Amino acid sequence: MARFLLRRLLQGIFVLFAVTIIVFLIFFVGPGPEYVAQRLAGRQATPQIVAAVRHRLQLDKPVIVQYGHFLRGLLHGDLGYSYYHGQPVTSVIKQAFPITLSLAIGASILWLTIGVLSGILSAVKRGKFVDRLVTILALFFYSMPVFVLGLLLLYFFYYRPALHGVHIFPGQGYVPLTENPTKWFESLVLPWISLALISAATYTRLTRGSMLDVMGEDYIRTARAKGLSERRVIYRHSLRSALTPVVSQFGIDVGTLLGGAVLTETVFGLPGLGWTAVQSIQNSDLPVIIGIVLIGAAAVVVANILVDIVYAVLDPRVRLH
């Protein structure tokens, strides 16, 4: 286990190192030092400020020196300075990340629960009415864009009740958990449901397909022949092995979501990483864009490492070497 963790950790570090090179080439080398300095300084920057930014970031030196300065800053937790916000990029991300984290945790719990349970039900009731109903609902939500479902939820649970003076959920905005837990929950319920229903469709299909494959294995027939209860066969033997593709998809989805749920945060007015990324693109706030890209890459790498570890816990056929 220790050797496996060390190897996966080194692989993750290598991937992140490669990402920093790609990001540096795209955002710094490709456009040229003059353009980069102008974008980093902001639209309203004077020539003196642009020159100062270029000198401070060593954009007037060879490319290898520029990358070394860029990488050294990342290793010290310095993602740059946003002249648009007037504060370090780390401060901007610290304000946005808890919102995206809250959205990701709540939505992932919902979609995993709904998707796995409905997938099990569909597999156990294969060919029956329940199976067809679950499949139809899964395809329906799988085909629906997240912003469409988000707008429908706002219409039926915010706009229509508000016309009659009933305010169940807020239309937009976010209340920090430390400020008011109840308001925090209310501000995230609709975004959670919006993400969960669409994402759960994928997990329903994955769980159903994987369960049907596993339930045809010899060891499942042997378990039934030994007289084990059907519930024990399903949940103890079938589900445990069938969850490996689900865990893989879950790691990718959560890692990607932590990089910013752009559409969901925009529809519901949540100033998380996705919303911040959109605003930064519109305002040409290059440092924040770079910071969010790197945070998203790190989240995906960490999620995949955790997925590989969970594999061995769920499926005894998987061994860590």
Domain of 202 in residue numbering reads as 90-314
Residue 109: the pLDDT is: 92
Question: CATH no. for residue 202?
Answer: 1.10.3720.10
199 and 266 housed in the same domain: yes
pLDDT digits (tens, 9 = 90+) for 92-104: 999 999 999 999 9
**Do 141 and 148 meet the contact criterion of CB atoms below 8 Å apart?**
no
56 and 98 housed in the same domain: no
User: Which three-class secondary structure state does DSSP give residue 101?
Assistant: helix
User: Which three-class secondary structure state does DSSP give residue 60?
Assistant: coil
- Using DSSP bridges, classify how beta strands 87-88 and 81-82 pair: parallel, antiparallel or unpaired: antiparallel
- Does residue 229 belong to any structural domain of this protein? yes
- Does residue 321 belong to any structural domain of this protein? no
- Does residue 246 belong to any structural domain of this protein? yes
- Does residue 10 belong to any structural domain of this protein? yes
- Does residue 166 belong to any structural domain of this protein? yes
Cβ atoms within 10 Å, residue 86: 10
φ and ψ at residue 172, rounded to 5 degrees: -145, 170
Cβ atoms within 10 Å, residue 32: 11
Residue 316: the pLDDT is: 55
Residue 317: the pLDDT is: 55
Locate tokens 């229903």: which residue?
Answer: 197
Residue 315 has pLDDT above 70, yes or no: no
Residue 217 has pLDDT above 60, yes or no: yes
49 and 119 housed in the same domain: no
Q: Work out the mean pLDDT of the chain and round it to a whole number.
A: 82
User: Which three-class secondary structure state does DSSP give residue 169?
Assistant: coil
48 and 190 housed in the same domain: no
202 and 136 housed in the same domain: yes
**Do 304 and 207 meet the contact criterion of CB atoms below 8 Å apart?**
no
Among 49, 78, 107, the domain-final residue is: 78
**Do 265 and 81 meet the contact criterion of CB atoms below 8 Å apart?**
no
- Does residue 85 belong to any structural domain of this protein? no
